[in-house]
Structure 1
Amino acid sequence: MKKIISLVAITLSIVACNNKSEVAKVIQGKVERDEIAVVGKIAGRIDQILVHEGDFVKKGDTLAILDIPEVEAKKTQAQGAVKSAEAQYDMSVHGATANQLKQLNAKKTALNEQYQFARKSLQRLDAMVKDSLIPQQQYDEVFAKYQGAQAQLIAVDAEIADVKNGVRLEQQTMALGQQDRALGALQEVKVAEKERYILAPQDMQIETITLKLGELALPGYTLFKGSLQTTTYFRFTIPESEVKNYEKGKTVTVEVPYKKAAIAGVVQNIKQIGAYANISTAYPDYDMQEPLYELVIKPSNSTEAQDILTKSTVTLKR
């Protein structure tokens, strides 16, 4: 029995040594991709979610629809303001209507009668005041009425001229400015209305959906997180002593264990991770205080790496 136990222990030791030696021959790394966050610009409740985690979407695809009742109310207000401003501008350009002109002509007729009566009254009193048949005060009162009737007649003539020729250019410009302002407000509401639809900014894979139906999405809050499949790269951590084996631009072979596949790649960048990442006595396989470097490898053919899982393990032979 003791011999059997000893034999098993020896066998396990040999297997462990072999596994350790195999691991020592490769450098382990991870599959990385650039990530992207999709946020909303205006506040609203999640009304519909049209995708699921793991879905691949194209740029411009609708991911979700927000319920924003305030936008519809503001749209109705803006449309009413536009109609009112357009009517004001049209009236300033085309002048008064036929009924308004008819009313002004009737007003002129009445004022003309008052003016003629005051003028005749003044002519009759003119001779009488010269002969001192009436006091000067009475004459002055009739003269004042005459001047008032004359001024009103002149004013109504000016009103009729305005409505026939249109209002002043300054008033037309002011009415046009009010119309443009109303149209701008309506355009702003239409832009806000489009923000109800949360669209994919790029071709991407949906990794995380942060909210559920009925929850409130605030401006700037991340609604979806995704990864860009065309940005796949492999990241390895190597000690300074091995940097010389991976020059920038060198072509290497990256192994994908879970797929049992090999992908050719090019060393794109090598940069130091930082002094805090120096290898010390906790890592007896390396020399003490040896700095670590990040090795970035881009696949030579990006289509070969599109279906590899993000954060999966890859290896690189030493």
Structure 2
Amino acid sequence: MKKEFHLIAILLFAFGCSEVTITDNVNGKVKRDVLTLASKYPGKVIEKYINEGDVVNPGDTLMKLDFPEVEAKLSQAEGAVSAAKAQYEMALKGATSDELAQVSAKLDAVTEQYHFAQKSFDRIDAMHKDSLVSDQKYDEVSMKLQSAKSQYEGVLAKYNQVKTGVRNEKIRMALGTYEQAKGALMEANVAYDERYIIAPQKMTIETITLKEGELALPGYGLFTGYDLNSTFFRFTVTEKEIKNYKKGAIYTIESPFTDTEYQGTLIAIKQLNSYADITTAFPDYELGEAIYELKLIPNDIAKSNELYANISVVLR
């Protein structure tokens, strides 16, 4: 009975020791930053120029949208600029010779009317003092005189304004209106240029959410992809293994499914708070053991762009 007990104890000890054996290699993943491209304004998809799986470069046109409302605002802004520009130029140059002649002729006419009304009032005033006309007649002639005087003074002020030119305040006001209209036109042109969805940087196109004829809403993601210039390798290790890694050191990373090797520089080590962030496929970490993330940047970015996102790699 004692021999059987000793045999079981030895087997249990041997089995337990095999479970905590630490391997030399660490499993990890290839990671990239995710990019989502969206439209700023509502519009209908007219045409798309790329397909899922394509690699695009900065400045490539990915899709064209139709913005009817933006086009209407653009036409309104162009009309407002033309009108404001004409007003500013007219204020800057002043009245033309034809306008001055028209105002001068009108001034002559109201001047004659005013003089005639003044003479009529003088005669009626003298007769009224001698009680030869009624108060009603006197009031009527007096009212006509005041009306003729008001017309004369108004036209005279207009004549002086046209002859001496526009005041500086009105010129600045016209200039302000013109500048405001140009700003609205610039804003409309910027919005109109947004009908083209442009690639901001080199990236892969993973998903295209809309087809031709469908409506794109503001902020709705049209394309999702990976930034190829952001490739890095991500590994997780325990606190027992962290002593083997130093920031700034260069390590060899192997891609077992593509039979390629890469050199990467360790740029960051940070502690992870969740076991869900562990990358290894066969975790053997003890409860309460601290877990750390290793982030390595490939030394050859162009070569690493050949790797697929989230593919498994091994740190040797």
Aligned to 1:312: 311
Deviation (angstroms), 1:249: 2.3
Aligned to 2:161: 162
Aligned to 1:301: 300
Q: 1:304 to 1:207 in 2, by over 3 A?
A: same
Amino acid of the structure 1 residue aligned with 2:161: D
Of 122, 131, 134 in structure 1, the residue corresponding to residue 132 of structure 2 is 134
Deviation (angstroms), 1:36: 1.6
Q: Provide the C-alpha distance between the structure 2 equivalents of 1:284 and 1:140, rounded to a whole number of angstroms.
A: 111
Aligned to 2:189: 190
Q: Provide the C-alpha distance between the structure 1 equivalents of 2:284 and 2:241, rounded to a whole number of angstroms.
A: 13
Q: Provide the C-alpha distance between the structure 2 equivalents of 1:125 and 1:293, rounded to a whole number of angstroms.
A: 111
Equivalent residues in 2 for 1:249-288, closer than 5 Å? 249-274=248-273, 276=275, 285-288=284-287
Aligned to 2:289: 290
Q: Provide the C-alpha distance between the structure 1 equivalents of 2:283 and 2:183, rounded to a whole number of angstroms.
A: 69
Query: Is the counterpart of residue 90 in structure 1 residue 89 in structure 2?
Result: yes
Instruction: Describe the superposition over 1:241-275 as per-residue Cα deviations: whole angstroms up to 9, x where unpaired.
Output: 22122222222211111222222222222222225
Q: CA RMSD in A?
A: 3.0
Instruction: Describe the superposition over 1:70-106 as per-residue Cα deviations: whole angstroms up to 9, x where unpaired.
Output: 1111111111122222222333333444444333333
Deviation (angstroms), 1:108: 2.3
Q: Provide the C-alpha distance between the structure 2 equivalents of 1:278 and 1:167, rounded to a whole number of angstroms.
A: 74
Q: Conserved in 2, the CA contact under 8 Å of 1:278 and 1:290?
A: no
TM-score (norm 1): 0.79
Instruction: Describe the superposition over 1:100-125 as per-residue Cα deviations: whole angstroms up to 9, x where unpaired.
Output: 43333332232232233334445556
Q: Provide the C-alpha distance between the structure 2 equivalents of 1:44 and 1:272, rounded to a whole number of angstroms.
A: 45
TM-score (norm 2): 0.80
Q: Provide the C-alpha distance between the structure 2 equivalents of 1:218 and 1:63, rounded to a whole number of angstroms.
A: 17
Q: 1:214 to 1:133 in 2, by over 3 A?
A: closer
Q: Percent identity?
A: 47
Q: Provide the C-alpha distance between the structure 1 equivalents of 2:32 and 2:220, rounded to a whole number of angstroms.
A: 22
Deviation (angstroms), 1:147: 5.0
Q: Provide the C-alpha distance between the structure 2 equivalents of 1:205 and 1:266, rounded to a whole number of angstroms.
A: 24
Aligned to 1:57: 56
Q: 1:94 to 1:241 in 2, by over 3 A?
A: same
Q: 1:252 to 1:114 in 2, by over 3 A?
A: closer
2:35 match: secondary structure: strand
Higher alpha-carbon deviation: 298-307 or 68-77: 298-307
Gaps of 5+ in 2: 1-18
